[in-house]
């Protein structure tokens, strides 16, 4: 299933993408895609719904974040070998963990608001996963069974604030609009193996990143288990899993986003995003 939320910001309705790629309105059945609705029981109940009988949404409405009520937005750094190398850093032996502010979450095609005075705003295509069940001290073998689904993410980053302002990455990762996810949440039954997904990011039509989740240093299953040793992951939590090589920071010389630039992101089974920098 491909779950989504559509409508103006703050007034999104729950929807689902049907087999023909049309949006169906589910607001008559559920109030929103809240953490409770993402539980295994909640998702299982949706399989009994005849999507073709649901109201068809006309036009091309704005898409919001595909989940509501997220309580934690976590991120993994340096999770692709070539990206660590282009950043001039050692290959990590354990996952690098940081958080992004919840206020950075935005819709997949919403504008990216460049911070005033920024000269180093960068792009990062990533696979994100959304928890469906609570995870605390879980094994790697049981980890994927606690995930509700996957979505495309752009971990937008301001490198000067990230690197030069005291060593806490969250400073460069948490500006409003720096966490677009979507266009939809693809449930795990459609992606039994998240380590096989090709991805690509373009800036103004030029390919900047092209990779596959098979190149991740730490798999999704490992990350769920690892994070759960240090914190409790809650239903609805979003974890974005790192970016491959090809970011602006790694170019020689570095090249960063400018107002007016357009990013286009795509990933197998997870759809596309398009964002303009304003």
- State pLDDT tens for residues 244-278: 999 999 999 999 999 999 999 999 999 999 999 99
- Tell whether 68 is covered by a domain: no
Whether residue 153 sits in one domain with residue 257: yes
* 91 shares a domain with 161: yes
Would you say residue 8 lies in a domain?
A: yes
DSSP state of 81: H
Residue 167 pLDDT greater than 80, yes or no: no
Inform me whether the pLDDT recorded for 214 exceeds 90. yes
Query: Do 253 and 119 fall within a single domain?
Result: yes
Q: Of how many residues is the chain composed?
A: 278
Query: Do 157 and 210 share a structural domain?
Result: yes
| Percent of the chain whose predicted confidence (pLDDT) is above 90 | 94
pTM, rounded to two decimals: 0.96
The pLDDT assigned to 166 comes to 86
Phi, psi dihedrals of residue 156, rounded to the nearest 5°: -60, 140
Given a contact cutoff of 8 angstroms between Cβ atoms, the answer to whether 78 and 89 are in contact is yes
Residue 45 has pLDDT above 90, yes or no: yes
The stretch 205-222 carries a mean pLDDT of 97
- Determine the average pLDDT of the residues in 183-211: 98
Asked if 61 and 23 touch (Cβ cutoff 8 Å), the reply is: yes
Distance CA 209, CA 249 (A): 12
Asked if residue 232 and residue 125 are part of one domain, the reply reads yes
Inside any domain, residue 41: yes
Residue 177 lies in a domain: yes
Total number of domains in the chain = 2
Residue 242 placed within a domain: yes
Residue 94 has pLDDT above 80, yes or no: yes
What range does the domain containing 137 cover? 73-276
């Amino acid at each position: 299933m491909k779950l989504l939320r559509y409508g103006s910001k703050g007034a999104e309705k729950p929807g689902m993408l049907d087999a023909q790629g049309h949006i169906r309105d589910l607001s008559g059945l559920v109030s929103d895609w809240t953490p409770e609705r993402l539980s295994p029981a909640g998702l299982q109940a949706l399989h009994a719904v005849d999507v073709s009988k649901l109201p068809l949404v006309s036009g091309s409405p704005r898409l919001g974040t595909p989940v509501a009520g997220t309580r934690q937005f976590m991120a993994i750094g340096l999770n692709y070998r070539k990206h660590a190398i282009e950043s001039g850093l050692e290959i990590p032996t354990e996952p690098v963990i940081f958080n992004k502010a919840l206020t950075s979450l935005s819709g997949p095609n919403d504008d990216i608001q460049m911070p005033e005075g920024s000269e180093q705003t960068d792009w990062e295509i990533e696979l994100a996963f959304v928890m469906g069940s609570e995870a605390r001290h879980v094994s790697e073998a049981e980890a994927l069974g606690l995930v509700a689904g996957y979505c495309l993410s752009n971990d937008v980053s301001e490198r000067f604030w990230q690197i030069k302002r005291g060593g806490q990455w969250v400073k460069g990762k948490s500006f409003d609009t720096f966490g677009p996810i979507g266009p939809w949440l693809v449930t795990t039954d459609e992606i039994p193996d998240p380590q096989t997904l090709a991805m690509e990011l373009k800036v103004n039509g030029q390919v900047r990143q092209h990779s596959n989740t098979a190149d991740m240093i730490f798999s999704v299953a490992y990350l769920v288990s690892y994070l759960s040793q240090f914190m409790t992951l809650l239903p609805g939590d979003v974890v974005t899993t790192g970016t491959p090589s090809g970011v602006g920071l790694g170019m020689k010389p570095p090249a960063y986003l400018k107002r007016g630039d357009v990013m286009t992101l795509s990933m197998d089974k997870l759809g596309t995003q398009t964002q303009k920098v304003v």
